[in-house]
Amino acid sequence: MPVRRLLYLALVLACCALPLALLWRALGAGGWTVAEALIWLLAAAVSPWLATLGASAMVGFAVLMAGRDPLHVVWPEARLDERAPFALRTAILVCIRNEDTAAVLARIRPLLAALEARGLGEHFALFVLSDTQDEAAAAEEIRAVTAFRATLAHPERLSYRRRDTNEGFKAGNVMEFVRNRSAGFEAMITLDADSVMTAECMLRLARLMAQNPRAALVQTLIVARPTAAPFPRLFQFGMRHGMRCYAAGIAWWQGPDGPYWGHNAILRIAPFRDHAELPTLPDGARILSHDQVEATLLRGAGWEVRLDPLEQGSYEANPPSLLEFMRRDVRWMAGNLQYLALLRMPLLSWMGRIQLMLAILLFLLSPVLVAITLASLVNALDPDPRAAVASGPGVAATLLFVGLYCAPKLLGALEVTLKRAARPRWGGGARLAAGVAVEFVFYLLLFPISALNQTVEMAAMALGRRVGWAPQAREDRRVRVADAARALWWHTLAGAGLLAGFAAASGAALLWALPLLAGAVLAVPFCVVTADPAVGRRLVRSGLAAIPEERDPHSPFPPLLSPQARAA
């Protein structure tokens, strides 16, 4: 691992140095102003994080193009013998809170049936862990679980428990299971309420855990389920390409210090019980984003945390609209920013601290970019000759920074394009290229809305606002113009005001700012259109932004549209 990490560090430094050097030339062309110095310092502060994105994507692209099994490239010591006798007793944990429990269990049914069909059902048991506080919702949960249990050939393999309080949130519920109800099980596979996992994927995870005794956690690559809703459909199309390259890259250089994304992973119960209990924060608050902290605690105790970077039947759902996406974003941000209080924990390895810092920087990027935009506006309006910016190096630096940020998606799409056998799964080269182009515009419009929202919410948290663990809305629904305007009016005003300022400065400044701010100005129509079911149906019928499962006759998912709707 030391050689891999040194090579990776060299690549990260190169990815930092080039755009920063170009930015230095651009800003210093006529001398330096205070605003220009601030722009460069802020860019230097976030460029290491952008460079890790780009460098990880480049490494992952090389891993995926190498023509070998990616698992054994990133984890050479891994043992995986699918012919070996299966004996690992594994608990399947499904965590719910105010969910449609019948729908959750319906997604689990094919998995249980497939395990039984392979004669391996006796090695698994399902535990539904509820944190629902509403009594009416809890009564419906019990009815759904009772009805589901009655259909099982072995009803004793299903357990349901609802806590009276949700202390510690989801992580607290899981730890309560580990401490009090895990006797007889060696491992547990954690699923979220929206998770889908195939039997093949689950058995692969269990075999990896059984045959690699130093591993305490193996995380699968999670991809999104097929959907006709425009917002998650476009969002997940880009993430599908990006995560494939990014996951292979980080698995290569992080090795035994890998990530945990909180679900669709297998954990060894004994070390998790002994080492992964979450600390209370100095202010007495509970940790919201538990996953990466648990992974770093396991690694700090000497256990391995590994990432299997293959797409292999591990799925989740994305928020159905922009408004739900922003709500989830704020909760994730609140949890990740809590990591600042944990960086000095004595049991963390240095790689564990890096993992936590990367999680923090994921959200600190937004206020830094907002600050760079404001400083750029001040500089553009400054009549001082020193405020002049060389356009050539400036545009080149901007494109390089954007390229680093988008490298996972772009290289993931390139990987499919270069593999002749893979292209038909994505509808062919032309349809793949069209999907990439549409998703790029979609994300270009989404990014400024998200960055502004994160910045303001972060400021509110700094002033004392507390964010809790709220239930998620998962069902597709239309967003009314009034609802979008109520939530996004200030994003629109902020974007319009900034663009007006750049237009007042010069035409060149406006052209630089327009692609970066147009999404904020269009926030309300963007929100409404990307939640419109009619738009989704047109995307499905055209095959645009379709993932391979939509074309796979053996997909674990039903068709998105009926034959009549598809022909309409």
What does 444-491 look like in DSSP terms, one character per residue? Answer: HHHHHHHHHHHHHHHHHHHTT-----PPPP-S-----HHHHHHHHHHH
Average the pLDDT over 27-32 and give the result. 89
Residue 96 within any structural domain of the chain: yes
Average the pLDDT over 258-281 and give the result. 93
Mean pLDDT of the chain: 92
| pTM (two decimals) | 0.92
Average the pLDDT over 456-471 and give the result. 76
Query: Residue 540's closest CA among 563, 561, 564?
Result: 561
**pLDDT at 34 (0 to 100):** 94
pLDDT of residue 466 exceeding 80, the answer is no
With vertex at residue 267, the alpha carbon angle to CA 264 and CA 272, rounded to the nearest 5 degrees, is 135
Residue 215 within any structural domain of the chain: yes
Do the Cβ atoms of 247 and 218 come closer than 8 Å? Answer: no
* Confidence at 124, pLDDT banded by 50, 70, 90: very high
Residue 433 within any structural domain of the chain: no
Average the pLDDT over 464-475 and give the result. 62
Query: Residues 507-561: pLDDT tens digits?
Result: 989 999 999 999 999 999 999 999 999 999 999 999 999 999 998 888 889 888 6
Residue 81 within any structural domain of the chain: yes
**pLDDT at 417 (0 to 100):** 94
Return the higher-pLDDT residue of 440 and 68: 440
Average the pLDDT over 12-23 and give the result. 96
**pLDDT at 260 (0 to 100):** 94
> What total number of domains does the chain contain?
1
Residue 439 within any structural domain of the chain: no
Say how many residues make up the chain. 568
pLDDT of residue 467 exceeding 80, the answer is no
* Summary count for the chain: helices (H), strands (E): 19, 10
pLDDT of residue 474 exceeding 60, the answer is no
What is the Cα–Cα distance from 326 to 235, expressed in whole angstroms? 13
**pLDDT at 513 (0 to 100):** 93
Residue 198 region, left (φ>0) first, then alpha (ψ -120 to 50), else beta? beta
Average the pLDDT over 144-163 and give the result. 94
**pLDDT at 409 (0 to 100):** 96
**pLDDT at 565 (0 to 100):** 53
**pLDDT at 224 (0 to 100):** 92
Do the Cβ atoms of 32 and 386 come closer than 8 Å? Answer: yes
Q: DSSP labels for 480-548?
A: -HHHHHHHHHHHHHHHHHHHHHHHHH-HHHHHHHHHHHHHHHTHHHHHHHTT-HHHHHHHHHHTTT--G
Query: Residues 316-360: pLDDT tens digits?
Result: 999 999 999 999 999 889 888 888 888 877 777 888 888 899 899
Query: Residues 210-267: pLDDT tens digits?
Result: 999 999 999 999 999 999 999 999 999 999 999 999 999 999 999 999 999 999 999 9
Residue 343 within any structural domain of the chain: no
What is the Cα–Cα distance from 127 to 131, expressed in whole angstroms? 13
Average the pLDDT over 289-300 and give the result. 92
Query: Residues 32-57: pLDDT tens digits?
Result: 999 999 999 999 999 999 999 999 99
What are the tokens at 535? 């738009």
Q: In Å, what is the CA distance from 311 to each residue of 59, 250, 451, 562?
A: 17, 15, 29, 27
* Confidence at 475, pLDDT banded by 50, 70, 90: low
**pLDDT at 182 (0 to 100):** 93
CATH number at residue 236: 3.90.550.10
Residue 276 within any structural domain of the chain: yes
Helix axes 481-505, 507-521, angle to 10 degrees: 170
**pLDDT at 414 (0 to 100):** 96
Domain span at residue 88 reads 73-334
Residue 103 within any structural domain of the chain: yes
**pLDDT at 285 (0 to 100):** 79
pLDDT of residue 568 exceeding 80, the answer is no
**pLDDT at 563 (0 to 100):** 57
